[in-house]
Structure 1
Amino acid sequence: MCKYLVVFLLIGAASLDCSAQQQKDKVENSIERPNILFVITDDQSFPHASAYGYSAVRTPNFDRVAKKGILFTKAYVASPGCSPSRAAILTGRHNWQTEEAGTHGSSFPSKFKVYPDILEEAGYKIGYTGKGWGPGNWGESGRKANPAGPAYNSVKFVDSPEGVSKINYAENFRQFYAEKKDGQPFCFWFGAHEPHRPFAKGIGQKNGKKLEDVVVPDFLPDTREVRNDILDYCFEIEWFDQQLGKMLAQLEENGELDNTLVIVTSDNGMPFPRAKANTYDYGLHVPLVVSWPASIRQGWVNTDVFTMINIAPTILEAAQVNNLQLSFPMWGRSVLKEWLNPVSGSVSHSAFAARERHSSSRFGNLGYPQRAIRRGDYLYIRNFKPDLWPAGDPYALISRGQSDKLELSDYGAFYDIDAAPSLTFLVENRENKKLLYFLDLATAKRPWEELYNVETDPSCIYNLAGDTSFSKIKAELKNSLEHQLIITADPRLLGDGDVFETYPRLEGVIRAFPRHE
């Protein structure tokens, strides 16, 4: 393991020197440092925005940013879970490189520097509203504020729709903006709580949304219950989009929009069975738009695979933060040059992803370790513990009444799937063989490796890993994944993977399960 760590440090140092020189070469001094508005929803899959042609949802403000800049069609997060995905965005590092921050509900080691802190040191005013990094305990490791910045959450709605956050995001942004000095650039993180569950059941239809507009992914049954659940999810996306529009209007009123780098995305996929908390396409593939009207060409569609660990170094280069010295350098690379001079399809990009613990879903609070690579048309997945249940053990020990007597339950035990009408419908109807098929897709044990053509099979139903006609593709992706894990010192590949199980869960319940067999 030591020799690999030496290789990792040498490569990291080399990339740091190269990055500093590239920043110096690429950014012209005549370009004004932009403001940064980073916008992230909570649990939204691609293609659920109207800019992508999804008719069940209307997102005029997301679409506006796309028209003013770049619409990405293959953006991939580093993890299918909230806090590890956000940590990767903030640090520019793979999840297995961020220790506790690479799992769910733990801490965020202060030795991993985040781009908002770096920008604050460079003179930017920083802050966030809604959900920053989380869930987890950022103070456990000595941090003085959420890694996204100081919180601006005091302004609340007096009246807002059922199910959505009471935080008035736009008015909190107004308060933040009023506090900055004249001429001072800002870096603001708008973390919507939407469309995270729970939803107000039936709110989609109550607001005029139509069941026939829903496109049901192949991993879910096409039933009225599921379509209604998706409509409620779409309503929450639309609520978020309205708040985004109010922030854009404020920037326009203040004459700041042209020189603001606006990035709008999500932290992971939709909160449905086999999507969120899974390294399948619907867990990792997210919406992404970027605009900077003063510098980025408008109306461009980027069809290359894009990894979100590139966000932090790109923001820093745009802000002209040069000669950056980090003890733990960012592994992502700045793509500012590509954004300023867009040429799609010129490079074969890869995106890597990881999953460790999500919720408390197994005996001993064990996670479900996965690694994945997305390149070209294909997604390759390595399941490191195929003997474990991917959505959580089928049976949980639950407390009954005041007696604290523990009893075995097989309902609601799949805690790596958010509680949802769709999940309830599948569990309650599992005696129906057609519906059991969909429940098994989400919960049954999985093989050591999986391979999917996500261009023809975005729902990741047909595993090609055992098909000899795809042996060459599988071998290439497997080798590329293993190479990346080695040079970045991933403990899972280097024989110390159980270190991830030692990271404490500091937020959320610890559930009781029968001993794993």
Structure 2
Amino acid sequence: MILKLLKPLLFITSLGLALPSYSNAPPNIVLIIADDLNWDDIGAYGHPNIHTPNLDNMAQNGMRFDSAYLTASSCSPSRSSILTGRYPHNTDAEQLHWDLPLSQTTFSEKLKEAGYWTGAAGKWHMGEAIKERFDMVREAYYGNGSLSGSSEWLALLDYRPKDQPFFLWLAAWDAHRPWVPGQKDLPHQHKQTDVRLPPYYPPTELYLNDFVNYYDEISRFDMNVGKVISKLEKQGIADNTLVIVIADNGRPYARDKTTLFDSGVKTPFIVHWPKGIKQKGSTTKSIVSSIDLSATFLDLANVQKPSTIEGKSFKDLFQTPNKPFRQYAFSERNWHDFEDHARTARSKRYRYVRNNYNDLPATPSGDTVYHETWDELIRLYDAGMLNMHQSRPFIAPRAKEELYDLQNDPYELYNLVDDPKHQRVLVEHRDALDNWIKESGDFIPSIRTPDDFDRLTGEKLPPRKRPRPPKIEQYGKSGKY
């Protein structure tokens, strides 16, 4: 009798097929994306006053990445880059609101082909066509019953097939403008005394109150992340579910969102995975890029990485947090409501920025420019009441190159390009960026894209066609910098 039972098992083994076991099962994967959240506006990253108990608990019992960077500080290009594992200029969706074309390969479709059930819920922002790369997409529209964008997150966890591993893309609207103070679903009400204002903003009553509203939205995002973790625990699958929380770009203010400073492209990166993280409460300072998420997810699922993916797997960091991974993280700025073109290389200590359209001021995003905080900034600038750091969004021409020592200058206020003591560092970072430009096939568009708004008033300009400009040769060879 025992022999009869063993015969099918021996036959399966002879074919080279592995028997399923929980210990070797690929993890479920959940990626949660905040909207316009600065990396250090979370308790786990040192903010003493923002109420983020769930994210803090994730970091205390999971893993915190301290050197994680996005490829763009712009919503839809950043998301398309994550989904494809490619730099924005290679996605054909490098400008804001450009749909991700079907010609692009996504890691979600590769997981789907490998037997994962794939779902997305919340903010989408990558076009209609690419939704077919998921088994289900439940898009939440701002103000349509879900100010946070999280209304369908838990429903997706309930709906998923229970006999398949799954990948979920859960995207919030929090903390994107507009903010609606006093909502009943806000878990915490912050006060002016909670605000830690960066030195490049004027400490006016308006700015302080606006930051209070921003903090409240972060707490709501934190609350909804906690609900996901709780649901996974109730379903009995938390131990083998990898949950990663990131943002798509920095906070929605001038000098943050759409910039290539840390406050634009550095992201919070918190991991919850009881089964997969060697030491709970661990941190890693190894540099990772958002393009590495795709390669890592596929690696964990034992799926071969397609040649289109430019990222690489950081799976080993979960077991060996101090293992070196990247020497540089590269990010880019393209059109986002206003024309611009810039590139950056970030090392462990330094950031190098190259402004290709330095004749233009560093105007922030449209949702910043048509907000009253921008009007306040203009009023103070016209009155000569801003210091040089607070005035930077209005200055043109800008420096062609910028170099910052983040160890001594965490707010990136003092450009060291002309400092004789930093010439060797400058050359090293120039070379690193040039090599990346060549290797990734980067380019400067042959024509500039019109602005959507007036750069000072925020007034919507008459509609003008925004064609996808043809690419020219790699600008590392074009002599344009």
Question: Partner of 2:428: helix, strand, or coil?
Answer: helix
Question: Partner of 1:102: helix, strand, or coil?
Answer: coil
Structure 2, unaligned runs of 5 or more? 1-20, 453-458, 465-481
Match 2:240 to one of 248, 251, 259: 259
Question: Partner of 1:222: helix, strand, or coil?
Answer: coil
Match of 1:115 in 2: 107
Match of 1:126 in 2: 118
| Aligned partner letter, 2:138 | Y
Structure 1, unaligned runs of 5 or more? 1-27, 362-366, 393-413
* Residue 322 of structure 2 is aligned to residue 343 of structure 1: yes
Matches within 5 A, 1:420-439: 420-435=371-386, 437=388
C-alpha contact 2:284 2:317 (8 A) present in aligned 1: no
C-alpha contact 1:268 1:276 (8 A) present in aligned 2: yes
The whole-number CA distance in structure 1 between the counterparts of 2:388 and 2:25 is 56
Identity %: 29
Match of 2:10 in 1: none
Match of 2:346 in 1: 374
Number of residue pairs the alignment of both structures matches = 435
Q: Would you tell me which structure has more helix in proportion to its own residues?
A: 1
The whole-number CA distance in structure 2 between the counterparts of 1:54 and 1:262 is 22
Q: 1:42 to 1:148 in 2, by over 3 A?
A: farther
Matches within 5 A, 1:389-408: 389-391=361-363
TM superposition score normalised by structure 1: 0.77
| Aligned partner letter, 1:173 | W
C-alpha contact 2:37 2:248 (8 A) present in aligned 1: yes
| Aligned partner letter, 1:304 | S
C-alpha contact 1:55 1:214 (8 A) present in aligned 2: no
Shift of 1:202: 7.6
Match 1:52 to one of 38, 45, 57: 45
Match of 2:405 in 1: 453
| Aligned partner letter, 2:137 | A
Match 1:213 to one of 194, 200, 213: 194
TM superposition score normalised by structure 2: 0.83
Match 2:166 to one of 172, 186, 193: 186
Q: 1:153 to 1:487 in 2, by over 3 A?
A: closer
The whole-number CA distance in structure 2 between the counterparts of 1:475 and 1:287 is 29
Question: Partner of 2:424: helix, strand, or coil?
Answer: helix
The whole-number CA distance in structure 1 between the counterparts of 2:309 and 2:72 is 16
| Aligned partner letter, 1:200 | V
The whole-number CA distance in structure 2 between the counterparts of 1:332 and 1:500 is 29
The whole-number CA distance in structure 1 between the counterparts of 2:187 and 2:297 is 40
Match 1:295 to one of 273, 276, 280: 276
Compare 229-238 and 202-211 and name the one that shifted more: 202-211
- CA deviation profile, 1:299-344 (whole Å, cap 9, x unmatched): 111122221111110011111113x444xx2111001022233225
| Aligned partner letter, 2:287 | V
- CA deviation profile, 1:256-297 (whole Å, cap 9, x unmatched): 100001000100000011100111111111111112211212
| Aligned partner letter, 2:442 | D
C-alpha contact 1:282 1:458 (8 A) present in aligned 2: no
- CA deviation profile, 1:72-127 (whole Å, cap 9, x unmatched): 1221110010011111111111112112x111111212222111111111111111
Question: Partner of 2:63: helix, strand, or coil?
Answer: strand
Shift of 1:439: 5.1
- CA deviation profile, 1:354-393 (whole Å, cap 9, x unmatched): 011101x3xxxxx20010010021110011111123217x
The whole-number CA distance in structure 1 between the counterparts of 2:43 and 2:390 is 29
Question: Partner of 1:479: helix, strand, or coil?
Answer: helix
| Aligned partner letter, 2:37 | Q
Match 1:280 to one of 240, 258, 261: 261
* Residue 306 of structure 2 is aligned to residue 334 of structure 1: no
| Aligned partner letter, 1:335 | F
Match 2:291 to one of 299, 303, 309: 309
Match of 2:455 in 1: none
The whole-number CA distance in structure 1 between the counterparts of 2:220 and 2:331 is 29
